[in-house]
Structures are given as C-alpha cells and as structure tokens.
Structure 1
Amino acid sequence: MVRITICSRILKFSKPYFWCATQSSSRCFNSRAQSHDLITKTITSSLQDVLTRPTWQNRSFVQCRRVSSHAQMAYDHQSVTIEKFDALCEEVKIREALEVVDILEDNGYVVDFPRILGLAKLCGEVEALEEARVVHDCITPLDARSYHTVIEMYSGCGSTDDALNVFDEMPERNSETWCIMMKCLAKNGEGERAIDMFTSFKEEGNKPDKEIFKAVFFACVSLGDINEGLLHFESMYRDYGIIPCMEDYVIVTEMLAACGHLDEALEFVERMTLEPSVEMWETLMNLCWVHGDLERGDRFAELVKKLDASRMNKESNAGLVAAKVSDSAKEKLKEMRYCQMMRDDPKLRMRKFRAGDTSHLGSDKTVAALRSLKVQMLDMGFVPATRVCLDKVEEEEKEEQLLFRSNKLAFAYAILDSKARRPLTVLQNMRTCVDGHNTLKMISLITGRELRQRDQRRFHIYKNGVCSCNDYW
C-alpha cells in the first residue's frame, strides 16, 4: 500500500467587475477577490491503480477539500445533513453547498452522484465558473453522461477551453458527445470551430444523424453562413439518406431567419413538400419581430392565432417575443445568486438601473456620457434603429427612449466607474436588440474598451467596433 499526500494550495474565488442588466433593470456589481484555504486530503490506494488510471480519473485521487474557518464556524459538523445540502442548492448557495459536501465526507457520508451532477448543472445555469471548477474536482466521470454534464456545465459558464479539455480527455465519445461539444462552441460564439469539429467527426468515420445536423445548423447561425447551412441540409438526404421531417424544416427556417434572411426563409417554406406547421409560422413570427419586420411578423401572428390560439400570450399579442419558460427559470436562479452574493459580501456594491430612470446617484454624469457618446456615434455615421421601438411617438422620442435603455445606462455608468481600458461585462436576461447591438459596437470603438455582453441567447464580445457574433444572433 502506498500513502499519497497532496500538498495544500490556495484556491481563489475571484469576483471580477461585472454589470448585470435585467429586463426591468440593470445592476452593477464590484468586489475584490476572496480566497478560501484548501486543506490536503490523504488517500490510500495501490500504486498500480494510480499509475494505470486515465488522467481524468486521477483527479479523484487528488481532490482537495475547501474548508474555511468561516464555514467551520457557520456549521456544526454533527448537525449537517444531506437535507442541508439540498436546501442550499435550492437557494443557489453553491459555495456553502460545497462546504457541506466536505463536512459530510468528514462525517463518513458521501453525497450521491446524482446530487453532485445536479450541482454541476446548477453551476452552468447561473454561470458560476470558479465554483464549477471546484465541482469538477468532485466528479469522477464513470460514463458518457457524466462527461456530458461537465461539458454542458462549462458551456453554460462560457468556458469553451475547459469544455474542450474535458472532451479531449474522454476515453470514448459517442454521437451525443460530439453534438454537445459543437453546440457548446456555437453557443459561445465559436461557430467556425464547431464546423471544424463536424469535419473531424466525419473524418473519424462517424455517420452524422439528425441531432448532429441540428448542431451544425446552430453553428451556421453563429457564423451567419446560410450557404453552408443549406449545403449541409442537402447533404442530409443526398449523402446520408436522412429524410427531412417538419422539425428539420423548422430548424433550417430558423437558421435562415435568425441570420436576417427573412425573404430566403419564406421562399424556403414555400418550396417545402410538407404543409407548414404552427411551429413554423410561430418561428417566423418571432424572428420577423426580432429583426424589425413588424408588418410581416403581424401577418404570421394571425396565422398562429388561427391554427393554435393558445400559443399567443400577452407578450405575443402585443407584438413582443415572449421569453421561454426555461430561460425565465434560469434568470430567476441567477437573480437569487446575485442577491446571495450581496448578502454574503458587504463590500459588494450594486447599482440598479431601469430603462429611462435617471434618479440614481451619479445619473447626471451617466446621462452626459451617453449623450456625448451619441454625438460621436452620429458623427461617425451611426443611425439609431428606431424600428425596434414599438411606441407610437415621434422619431426623436424613439431615439431618446433607445438611448436610455437599461443596458446602455449600465455600460455608461461602468465606463465612468472603472479604470480606463478595463474590459466590462454586462449580464442581460433578454435578447439584445439591433439598436443595442449596433450601439455597443460603436461604443467599443470610441472608448477602446472590450465590452462583453451575455444576453438570453449567447455571449457578445465587442472590440474595436466589431462583435464576435459577426452580427448574427
């Protein structure tokens, strides 16, 4: 028997500057990094087992446990139960849940694997990257499902490098593995790498199925390359004998419309051999509204009402794109996490912004900064996309409303409140509109800043007047 002792080290949970924009408001956070001590864990095993296990599984032997003096004071070790762990997960207290895992292990109780995987999913949903890396060290993937959960966790956190490391370390990969990894890359603005991965998938002798092609179409949306997407659609039947069904037609239509090619999307629907479903018209309705084609969107809305009126809710009837239930649930979890962070750290500062609200502290400077930026943007040829403003008011009033939307107020405040050239991040629980997207590109060029925006759909990285999404989102 060989006794292996892993040296202790320090794990820092840094809290970078970030600003959070919500549908009704924007919040600005600022805090310094905190650190938690790691203590060593002594493991006894046979030397042969350690030497022959894959690199990934060796991680289970070198797990380090996070135990801070604060946690030891907060919890009575004997009174901590698995129900406490479940309650902390419900409250999105991820760090405290990890502390409970360590305490339970000290008491001889091992948290069951499904609960640990559930904690990993929670990290991805609330984009808690640093906590996700700690959870990763608690997982010993035994099958493809476990690996997939970790990849999806890192995908939700926006870390494609971590996800690719997990993918590369997998001893075996199936079709679902490739599909998840491709979607991870495309979701985080790396559509070209996703297409390259599809090429590698075929070069390894694998045969694509419908799910793989869905990931390919999603990657083409990320790239804004509808020609490549249509070529892959034709290849489905020609090269692989996959007969397209209505779901496939809806996905391709969504790809065309999401890239802004509304005419091509409608032509594609008209050439279909199948009768368009209500899902098809609903997809076109939403994407026409997203791209400002209100007249055509209203026409598709009438078709949706005739076919299935239950699909039209209050937002849809008002000409707005309704948020998905799953997206709303994730935003609620994120909101709980931010509130918890502020309660736990008194140094954490928050600034709340509402669209058009200039009553907050420092609003005069924020408003002046926005107006100054607007003058510079107009001089550079910027034209406000007033078509996304649905209020029946004059053009000047529409421009004023667009200028003082919550995400722009948050960015303007952040620019004034941070050091020059420092990258800024906004977390937003709604899909960014055309005007907001164009505005942030211009602001990144004028200020020389790297602006990061996480909206309901993906990450946008604005730098030198260009966005990582290539203007397709």
Structure 2
Amino acid sequence: MIDMYSKCGMVGEAARVFNTLPVRNVISWNAMIAGYTNERNGEEALNLFREMREKGEVPDGYTYSSSLKACSCADAAGEGMQIHAALIRHGFPYLAQSAVAGALVDLYVKCRRMAEARKVFDRIEEKSVMSWSTLILGYAQEDNLKEAMDLFRELRESRHRMDGFVLSSIIGVFADFALLEQGKQMHAYTIKVPYGLLEMSVANSVLDMYMKCGLTVEADALFREMLERNVVSWTVMITGYGKHGIGNKAVELFNEMQENGIEPDSVTYLAVLSACSHSGLIKEGKKYFSILCSNQKIKPKVEHYACMVDLLGRGGRLKEAKNLIEKMPLKPNVGIWQTLLSVCRMHGDVEMGKQVGEILLRREGNNPANYVMVSNMYAHAGYWKESEKIRETLKRKGLKKEAGRSWVEMDKEIHIFYNGDGMHPLIEEIHEVLKEMEKRVKEEMGYVHSINFSLHDVEEESKMESLRVHSEKLAIGLVLVRRGLKLKGERVIRIFKNLRVCGDCHAFIKGLSKVLKIAFVVRDANRFHRFENGLCSCGDYW
C-alpha cells in the first residue's frame, strides 16, 4: 500500500499508512524513503533514513541508493559523503552494485566533484548505461570535453545499448559544444537503430544539434521529414531561426505551428519573442507579448519581460523598456537589469546605464559579470576613469570574470583557445598569419582596430596586440595556418565562442570574409553571425 500510494503521487497517504504500522521492516522503510525521494522531497527522505538507523534497522542496497538520490535532491553533498564513508568503513559490498554506485556517481556529478565521481565509476563491476551518461554529461557541464569524448567512445565500444534518453542526452552535449562531425555520426547512428529517430526526444535532439551547429537547411529538412512533431520540435526550430537572425521565418513557424493544432507553451513564446528581438521585429514582438499576457493558461515570466526589454532597448526605446520593468507585476531579477544595461551600452545612454549599474551592484555585489558590464559600458562611452574605478573594485574583491574562449573543429579534433592563449604549438604561425590578414583587411577594406575594446592604460601597439589574441581570432588563425590561405575550396569556416563576440573581432571577420572570399559562421553566447562578402547576417545588430 505504501508503495502503491507513493507511485500514484499520494505520498501523504503513503505516510499515513506507514505511521500506522505497529512493526516496520527494511522493506517498509525503503518504500517510504523511495516515495519521498521520487517526490523530490530529499529532506524528509533523509530524516527517515536517520530515524531508521537510530531504531537499529540495518539498511540494504535499496536503502542506500534511495538515500543517496535523496542527497542529490536536497543538495546534501556532505551527508552523501558520510553515507559513502560508512559504506567503505563497514566493508559493504553495495559499492560494486550498479544501483548504489550509480546513485553515488549522480550525487558527486551534481555536486561538481568529478574526481570522486570518476573514482566510484571506475570501481563499478557492472556499469549501467545511466552511469556512463551521467558521468559524460558531468564532464560536459564542467567543459572537460576531452574526458567526455573519451568516455563516450568507451561507451560505444562497450556491449551496452544506448536507449532514447541516453542518445538524446549525448546528442545534447554535441549540440552545446557544436561538434558537427560527431553530431552527424550520431544522426547516422540513430537512423540505424530501431529506438533512434522514432523516439521524439531523439529526433528533437538531432534538430537542436543541427541548429546549434549552424546548419539550418539540414535542420529544416529533418523537421519536414518527421512523421510526428510535438511542441518541443516546433520550439527548437523557432529558437534556432531566432538565433540565426531569421526572425521572419521564426514568426512564420510560430503561426504555422498553431495552424497545425499545436498550442505554444511558455518556452515557445520565449523563443518567438527572442527571435523578434534578434531581428528587430518590434511590432510582431509586441503583438505576441500582448497575446501571452491575455492567455488564460500561461502567465508571462520574468524571462518574457526580459525579451521585451531587449526588443525595445535594441530598437532605441530605452525609456519604454525601463518603464516596462518598473511596472511589471513580477519582481525584476538580476538578468532583466543586465539586459537593460546591455542596451544602455549599445546606445551610449550612460545616465540610465549608471542607474541600472547601481541597482545591479547593490543587488549582486559579488557577481563579477555585473562589474564587467558596468565597466564596459563606461569604456564604450569613453568614461575611462569610471571604467577603471569599477575594475579596481573587481580586483579588490578578488572576483574573476568568466574567461573568454573559442573553439574550432578540424579533422574530427577540437582546438580550444582562451583570450591571450599562448599554449598552442602553432601559436607563432597563428600570430604571423593574423598580422598578415590584418594588413590585407586594412589595405583592402579600411579596417581599423576598435581599441575601445581593449584596456585604456596601455600603449596603442599593446592594445592592438591584446585585440589580436582574442580567442575567436586565434581559432580563425589556426584554420588559416592548417588549411593554408586558399583554404582548399572550403566555403564555410565555423567558429564557436562562449561569450558575446566583441566589436573589433566582428569588424575584422567581416573584412576577412570579403578579402578571402569565404563565409565565416561564428556562434557566440547570444546568436549566430554569418560573415560573408564583408557583411554580417546580424546587420551589425547584436
């Protein structure tokens, strides 16, 4: 009865039955602990686990696996480590069992303790597919792509069959890192196996992978071939077109989706509003936001308001954007103020930017991103003293901003560069070819370094050197060195970056696309930029 009520989502009823038991054994304790765990109520599950042990009941493997899952739910890393230590201390055999060890791996991954997770994983005698995928996703979340890829290769070579959940999770890793070749291989794999593209989640993951790798044509072809499409399928496509700056196509799909009888959900509205923002479709964005606000089933969230702030702000309607924040029925979060600060910088509105910056630093004084954004806003407007003052505060507090990095896939190998990176074995050749390219782009296109994207208190030559070692330029430089300047007939070079591409790199890549007569597709944190014949698909609107 306890188990039945728990599995029917009636944990309160299960607890009432449990509390009436005159005698409890390990099975009844396990059923109740598992019930709370499955309801994501980790604290109650752990309270029961402690009570069980205090009453002298000896836990078994099922008890430990459920309790470790409860630690993951409750973010109780310390208690999970104590359970792990107790298992080792008492010499329990459960550590070699898949369920207990798998729960430990999951706990350590969620607590970002990858070294401990790997130690447990390596000791599992019979590894489950779920343990493999949990560890692979953990490494991917830590940006440790090499370990993630090595483990994935081991999984494919093992006798394990990957199910739909694992397939979609792994493809999701390839999508996030824009690993096109591996993604194509996985697409081929899903076609061969009976449980592949027939599962909606797998097909949607492949769609997402193609969009995030910049292949809109391939994504659209697969989308049209799908026998069934759900709200996620449509939302992936709308999001993808929005990120590529093809807002009209995203709006078209949004309307087509409803004509096909698919009701948009909260995420779909977010996708279409974001698409309108990236393409400057103010009229359409206002229309869909109004429909959302009058929707009886879905209520707009802060993220929807942030999209409208971005849309209005990019269109130069800064006061309207600020009024929307001040009058919204929800409490504004840090993200929406960061959005407003970003458009203040774009339009050079230092006065409003200063007010927004003060709000951000007051609300999240230990977030380095806020200091960097405020400092960059001042620097962009030429307020160097104010910019340096903010950066000094950042240093004094010991805060560090996220490092800019870019990566490029060549011959099935990933090359990652950080800003100022000097570790690549071809770094000297990369600098030489970048200098040569700068000279050509200057002579043929009139390119001039935008030194306001560099530090103010260094010599001009040093500023130019610092701009030359931006990660996206280093990645492009490697392609030019490895492929040669003729690029052997290649038509598109794809570069990926974790942060927003800066104005100087944007101008340089535009010029380079004209000089070399080749297209560059750059995916940054916000959107895609397709540089071709001296122009960018974003229309310099990013």
With normalisation by structure 1, the TM-score equals 0.63
Counterpart of 1:455 (choices 524, 531, 537) is 524
The answer on whether the counterparts of 1:449 and 1:463 sit within 8 Å (CA) in structure 2 is yes
Which residue of structure 2 aligns with residue 5 of structure 1?
A: none
Alpha-carbon offset, residue 288 of structure 1: 3.5
Match of residue 307 from structure 2 = 251
> Using a 3 Å threshold, how does the CA distance of structure 1 residues 206 and 414 change in structure 2: closer, same or farther?
closer
Partner of 1:284: 340
Equivalent position of 1:182 in the other structure: 238
- Structure 1 segment 118-137 matched on structure 2, within 5 A: 118-136=169-187, 137=189
Deviation sequence 1:292-326 (CA, Å, 0-9, x none): 656643431211233x235x4234224368xxxxx
Q: 1:418 aligns with which of 485, 503, 506?
A: 485
SS at structure 2 position matched to 1:361: helix
Q: Which residue identity does 2:472 align to in structure 1?
A: N
Taking a change above 3 Å as real, the CA distance of residues 388 and 340 of structure 1, as seen in their structure-2 partners, is same
Contact 2:495 2:523 survives alignment (8 Å): yes
Q: 1:124 deviation in Å?
A: 1.5
> Per-residue deviation at 1:197?
0.5
> In structure 1, how many angstroms separate the alpha carbons of the residues matched to 2:444 and 2:435?
14
Decide whether the 8 Å contact of 2:235 with 2:271 is kept in 1: yes
User: 1:462 Cα deviation (Å)?
Assistant: 0.7
Q: CA separation in 2, counterparts of 1:208 and 1:362?
A: 47
Question: Is the 2:242–2:274 contact (alpha carbons within 8 Å) kept by the matching residues of 1?
Answer: yes
What residue identity is the alignment partner of 1:132? G
Q: Could you tell me how far 1:194 is from its partner in structure 2?
A: 1.4
The answer to whether the aligner puts 1:436 opposite 2:534 as a matched pair is no
Over alpha carbons, which structure has the higher Rg? Answer: 2
> Is 1:313 equivalent to 2:367 in the alignment?
yes
Between the aligned residues of both structures, percent identity stands at 25
- Aligned in 2, Cα 1:404/1:99: closer, same or farther, shift over 3 Å? closer
Q: Deviations over 1:263-291 (max 9, x none)?
A: 25535537735476243323222444466
Q: Answer whether contact 2:451 2:464 (CA < 8 A) is retained.
A: yes
Contact 2:306 2:339 in 1 (8 A): yes
The 3 A distance-change label for structure 1 pair 265 and 453 is: farther
Match of 1:212 among 257, 268, 274: 268
Instruction: Tell me if 1:261 matches 2:316.
Output: yes
Matched, 1:167 2:235: no
Q: Secondary structure at the match of 1:229?
A: helix
Distance 1:80-1:331 versus aligned 2 partners, 3 A rule: farther
The alpha-carbon distance between structure 1 residues 298 and 186, as it changes in their structure 2 partners (threshold 3 A), is: same
Counterpart contact for 2:210–2:219, Cα < 8 Å = yes
Larger strand fraction of residues: 1
Quote the residue 1:301 is aligned against. 357
- Separation of aligned partners in 2, 1:274 and 1:369: 52
What secondary structure sits across from 1:461 in the alignment? strand
Q: Give distance in 1, aligned partners of 2:155 and 2:494.
A: 31
CA contact (8 A) 1:224 1:470 kept: no
Tell me the amino acid that sits aligned with residue 101 of structure 1: R
Task: Kindly provide the amino acid, as one letter, of the partner of residue 433 in structure 1.
Answer: C
1:463 CA drift (Å): 0.7
Letter of the 2:525 partner, please give it.
Q
Q: C-alpha displacement at 1:216, in angstroms? A: 0.9
**Deviation (angstroms), 1:193:** 1.9
**Distance apart, 1:168 and its partner CA:** 2.8
Q: How does 1:65-80 map to 2 (within 5 A)?
A: none
C-alpha separation in 1, matches of 2:351 and 2:304:
26
SS of equivalent residue, structure 2 residue 311: helix
Q: CA deviation at 1:247?
A: 4.0
Could you report, residue by residue, the CA deviation over 1:98-130 in whole angstroms, capped at 9, with x for unpaired residues? 5743541xxxx5344433332222222222223
The secondary structure found in structure 1 opposite 2:521 is: strand
Structure with greater helix percent: 2
Contact 1:388/1:434 (<8 A) preserved:
yes
Please tell me whether residue 116 in structure 1 is matched to residue 167 in structure 2: yes
When the two structures are aligned, how many residues end up with a matched partner?
372
Counterpart selection for 1:389 from 443, 454, 457: 454
Asked if the contact 2:510–2:532 (Cα under 8 Å) also holds between the matched residues in 1, the reply is yes
Which one of 387, 410, 413 corresponds to residue 341 of structure 1? 413
Quick one: distance in 1 between partners of 2:369 and 2:325? Answer: 28
The alpha carbon displacement at 1:373 in A equals 2.1
Q: Would the alpha carbon gap of residues 226 and 371 (structure 1) be closer, same or farther in structure 2, given more than 3 Å must change?
A: same
3-state secondary structure, aligned to 2:172: helix
Once residues 207 and 509 of structure 2 are traced to their aligned partners in structure 1, the CA distance between those partners, rounded to angstroms, is 30
Q: Distance in 1 between matches of 2:244 and 2:369?
A: 28
Q: State the Cα deviation string for residues 311-353 of structure 1 (Å, max 9, x = none).
A: x4234224368xxxxx979979x79x999937xxxxxxx7968
Distance in structure 2 (CA, Å) of the matches to 1:263 and 1:217: 17
Residue pair 1:82, 1:111 contacting (<8 A) in 2 also:
no
SS of equivalent residue, structure 2 residue 429: coil
Equivalent residue letter for 1:467: C
CA distance in 2 between counterparts of 1:330 and 1:93 reads 21
User: Which structure 2 segments of 5+ residues have no match?
Assistant: 1-124, 140-145, 377-400
Equivalent position to 1:272, from 327, 333, 336: 327
- SS of the residue corresponding to residue 196 of structure 2 reads coil
Secondary structure, counterpart of 2:428 in structure 1: coil
The 1-side partners of 2:171 and 2:149 are apart by 10
CA, structure 1 residues 96+239, in 2 after alignment: closer, same or farther (shift >3 Å)?
Answer: closer
The match for 2:92 is: none
From the superposition, tell whether residues 455 and 361 of structure 1 become closer, same or farther in structure 2 (CA, over 3 Å).
Answer: same
Per-residue displacement from partner, 1:158-212 (whole Å, max 9, x unpaired)? 3333433443344433333322221122224433321110121232244444332
Question: Are the structure 2 counterparts of residues 371 and 276 from structure 1 closer, same or farther at C-alpha, using a change threshold of 3 Å?
Answer: farther
2:472 pairs with 1:407: yes
What secondary structure does 2:327 align onto? coil
Change (3 A) 1:309 1:452: closer
CA contact (8 A) 2:325 2:332 kept: no
Structure-to-structure mapping, 1:79-158, within 5 angstroms: 82=128, 90=139, 91-92=146-147, 94=149, 97=152, 100-101=155-156, 103-104=158-159, 109-136=160-187, 137-138=189-190, 139-141=195-197, 143-158=199-214
TM-score under structure 2 normalisation? 0.56
Q: Is the 8 Å Cα contact of residues 404 and 418 (structure 2) preserved in structure 1?
A: no
Q: Name whichever of 191-200 and 277-286 sits farther off.
A: 277-286
206-215 or 242-251, which deviates more? 242-251
- Measure the CA separation in 2 of the matches of 1:115 and 1:193: 31
